[in-house]
Structures are given as C-alpha cells and as structure tokens.
Amino acid sequence: MTAQILDGRAVSVAILDRVRREVDEFAAEHGRVPALATVLVGDDPASRTYVRMKANRCAKAGIDSHRVELDAAITTGELVSRIRELSADPAVDGILLQHPVPDHIDERAAFEAIEPAKDVDGVTRASFAAMAFDEDGFRSATPGGIMALLDAYDIPLPGRHAVVVGRSPILGRPVGMLLLARDATVTYCHSRTAGLAERVAEADIVVAAAGRPRLIRGEWIRPGAVVVDAGYAGNTGDVEYEEAAERAAFITPVPGGVGPMTIATLLAQTVRAARAHQTRRSRGAVPVRGEAMTKARDNYLLDLAASRQGYALNRLCGSLKDEENRRRFLEDEAAYCDAYGLSAEQRKAILERDWTAMLELGGSIFYTFKLAMLDKKSMQYLGGVFTGMSAEEFAAAMRSGGRKFG
C-alpha cells in the first residue's frame, strides 16, 4: 500500500483564493481591508522566515500586514503592554504573536494580552475554551488547518479512533478537542507515554504533534490509517515518512502538508475577525480600548472566574459590600499589577478605573456569567457606589450591553 498524499499546499491555495474574494468583498463594503498585526520578539532566523512568509501570504490575499518588531531584551511587562495597545487599536483586526518568544518572556502572559476578538491564531485561554466546548470562536491555527485538510479529503471522523501524540496548549490539546467535537474517540499521548507504539498501532487517525523528529516509527502505523504530521525540524517531521507511507492510506508530507494550512487558516480567521469587528462598530458596541479595559477582561474572566481564593466572578459583584471581599479584591488588583511590572502610576490608574472598565464591558461580562439577574439590592449597591446611578439606571445600562458607559 502506498499512501495518498494529503496535499496541504493545494488545499491552502483554494482556501486563499476564497479569502482573496472575501477580502475584495469586504473592501467594497467597508472601504478598507482586514488588518493583521504580527509581533516578532528578537531575531530568531526561523521566526523571521515564518513572519516573512505570513506577510507574503497576506499581500497575496489583499490583507494589510502590520509588522511589529521588538528587541529580544524586552520584558514581559513591556511586551504585554505593547500587545494590549494592539488589542485596543481600532485599525487592527487580528493579532499574531510569533512564537516561541525568548526564554525570559512569560509566553502565556503575552498570549493572554491578546483580545479574544482579535485572537486569529487561537492561542488564548478564551479560544481554547471555545474549541473545548465546541462554541463559536477562533481555532488554534494549526489544529484548524488540520481539520480543514481532513475535510478537504473527505476523511470520515465519527467513530474513528484518533491518537494525538503531543500536548501543546496550541496544537496537541486543541486538535484533540476539535476531533472530539466531530465524534472521533480521542486518545492523548506524548513522548513519555508508556507503550506509545501500542497506542499508535490502535489508531485510525494519528496526529503527530510532539516536536520530536521521527519519534513515531513507520512500523507502528496501522495499515489503512490516516497520518497527519504536524512536526517540523529541518524538513523532517515527527513520523518516519517513507516507512509510514507504505502502510497508511493517507499521509501529510513534511514540508507541504500541515504548514500551508496553518497560514491559510490564520488569514481566513483574520477576515472573520474583521467582519465581526465591523459589525460591532456598526452596532455601536463599546470597543475594548486601553490597558484598563483589557486588564479588566483578563483579570475578571480568567483570574477571578477560575480563582482558588474563595470566590468566583458570578458572586463577586453581589458580595463586594462585604469589606473582607472588597479588601481581597483590591489585594488581587495590586498583586496583578506587581506581577506585570506596572509602574506606580499605571497601577493607580488601573485601581481607579477598573470598575469603570468592567462596567463598560458590562454586556459581555455580566451576561456571560448570568449577572444580569442580580437582585435589586445588589444593583442599587453597585449603581450607587461605583457609578452614581440608581438601581434601575444601572440595570438598564447592563441590558444595553454597557454602551451607556462608553
């Protein structure tokens, strides 16, 4: 048996042709083209090559590419601030932080500075949650590209056993979630899995995403299986290609398989982001803007909602009249500012403005956590203490999606 090639280059060309038509339509409707900001930290040659490739693809698709180059010595706090500026910039529809970043940078903190509505590379916790819950959102670009490639070749997924070898939060884990959402039975493995050969041999679909060249032996592949190799190191993937191709029914080459699909997915999602951005503008929704706005989203939606410190966001507003909770809330704010290296002036601005920022984001935050049902006493407390509004005025502002605070 000789495997059929899953040709990512050919499929990506078709996707990019569609993206180009969508960009032309968008430009005709709105008088501008979608804009993608690409952030590059340092001068790693491979990263520079990837960024250049993405810029070239943007140009061919008609997407405006903003390249932001930052010194390798930049601190996490400085990088977070720069990304937040892009999140607040109305001229930017999508943001890509080229990874990996230098070792001294907290990459997760940098990712989380990206506004989810602009996370076209699918790297934030919000995007992962959307994939895990099979909800609308941006897919991690490589997993999204893998799913598009499987669909292009009509690979059936329901009931198939998929073994994902790799556990990266932007590749292995999310691709497993996407396969599960399509009714595949998913097994996660990694380089330290005991009996890896046996697990791989059970798979109808193998997704190699461990970043370990030739980790998966060709002889492990079940005859007739589908092999998707997302590894790449010096034109070598995670799978022994020649040997696996003799046993598999379908296989991706390296290069030319998953890589082109990643870029195509990134650009397709940039157009989606631009359309959503334009829709929010036309409806008069309050855009995310400024450090305090983005900080409020990060802290409330991510830190407090998943907090192990004794309260969740959906109880916070009703309990801040309790002085102990209020003290803990302010302590958390101060700790967050310190962790991100913010200056005393920035910290003071955040502490003074965060409640205003939270209320400006009221529609999305309050409805997400069902806080629109706060009792009248809590509404009166919040309205009076933090906004000067009556309970009725505060509730009406929340129902309007927070726009009255803009």
First to last CA, the chain: 63
Quote the CA–CA distance of 268 and 307 in Å, as a whole number. Answer: 34
150, 192 Cβ separation under 8 angstroms: no
Give the burial class of 323: count Cβ atoms within 10 A of its Cβ; 0-12 exposed, 13-18 middle, 19 or more buried.
exposed
> Which of these, 144, 149, 155, lies nearest to 10 by C-alpha position?
149
152, 230 Cβ separation under 8 angstroms: no
> For the CA atoms of the chain, what is the radius of gyration?
23
139, 174 Cβ separation under 8 angstroms: yes
Quote the CA–CA distance of 377 and 135 in Å, as a whole number. Answer: 34
Q: For residue 283, give every residue at least 6 positions away whose Cβ sits within 8 Å of its Cβ, in sequence order, or none.
A: none
Quote the CA–CA distance of 48 and 35 in Å, as a whole number. Answer: 19
385, 395 Cβ separation under 8 angstroms: no
Give the burial class of 198: count Cβ atoms within 10 A of its Cβ; 0-12 exposed, 13-18 middle, 19 or more buried.
exposed
Token digits of residue 94: 């999508």
Active-site residue numbers?
A: 54, 98, 121
